[in-house]
Amino acid sequence: MNSKANSMENPSPKEIQDLILPFQYPLDHVGIRLNRPEQDPELNFFSVIKDRKSIRNLKPLKEKQLDYLFWFAARVYQASVANDYILSHRASPSAGGIHPIDILVHRPENSFFEYYSPFEHHLYKVQLEQEIIQSLLCHIDLAFPNRDTPLLWFLAHGKRTKAFYQNFESLVWRDAGALLQTFQLTCTALGMGSCAVGTLGEPFISSLFGEDIVSAGGIIIGNI
């Protein structure tokens, strides 16, 4: 396992970046504008760190809780353009500010997934094949039976990071881990619970999106 063939190589920035072709999700044209908190909560950071833990048995969310979670954990704070690609600063660290991880949401009252737009703080319904969606949800239910709380799913676009870095693979996985931790800490800060999903949701994610997207896992969120 220590051979070069079985290990990732050190990433390094490219002198000349590749062009990135945008991925077009099959979205509804009209999105849902999420609520924004009137003020930031006053919290002790070290208490949040200490109290964070994974909780499997979660209760349904109340109104606006999902909105506020995305506002603090995933929205874009600042943005700039490099080689026709929008780099951004968000709560979660990302190699080069590329943020190759997109987030889908499944709310238990829906039969579909929604795409979170971090630039607009909107949700958009994604038009996907229902049979595959139901198979994926049944797959998740094996680990979380009778789930009545939202599921967030991370989709990794490795080509975005590859355009800026040689040996990019490890950077994408580190991005996914950082995003997961950001959501878990934010859930704790907002008095909510969360639990990472162990499965990658295959072969269902590949069937829905093809080989250009790699599943980076998911997280269940809810009330304690």
Domain annotation covers residue 114: yes
Domain annotation covers residue 217: yes
For the segment 159-208, what is each residue's pLDDT rounded down to a tens digit?
A: 999 999 999 999 999 999 999 999 999 999 999 999 999 999 999 999 99
For the segment 25-70, what is each residue's pLDDT rounded down to a tens digit?
A: 999 989 999 999 998 888 999 999 999 999 999 999 999 999 999 9
Which position has the higher pLDDT, 125 or 39?
A: 125
Domain that holds residue 72: 58-223
- Residue of 151, 73, 60 whose CA lies nearest to 112: 151
Domain annotation covers residue 8: no
Domain annotation covers residue 150: yes
**% of residues, the chain, pLDDT over 90:** 91
| pLDDT above 70 for 2 | no
Distance of CA 59 to CAs 154, 193, 220, Å? 22, 9, 11
- Average predicted confidence (pLDDT) for the chain: 94
Question: Residue 70 maps to which CATH number?
Answer: 3.40.109.10
Domain annotation covers residue 142: yes
Domain annotation covers residue 46: no
Domain count, the chain: 1
Domain annotation covers residue 18: no
What is the DSSP annotation of the chain?
Answer: --SGGGSPPPPEE-SSPPP-PPP---B-SSPEEPP--SS-----HHHHHHH--B-SS-BPPPTTHHHHHHHHHT--SEEEEETTEEEEE-SS--GGG---EEEEEE-TT-SS-EEEETTTTEEEEB---HHHHHHHHHHHHTTSTT--S-EEEEEE-HHHHHTTEES-HHHHHHHHHHHHHHHHHHHHHTTEEEEEE----TTHHHHHH-TT-EEEEEEEEEE-
pTM of full prediction above 0.85: yes
Domain annotation covers residue 28: no
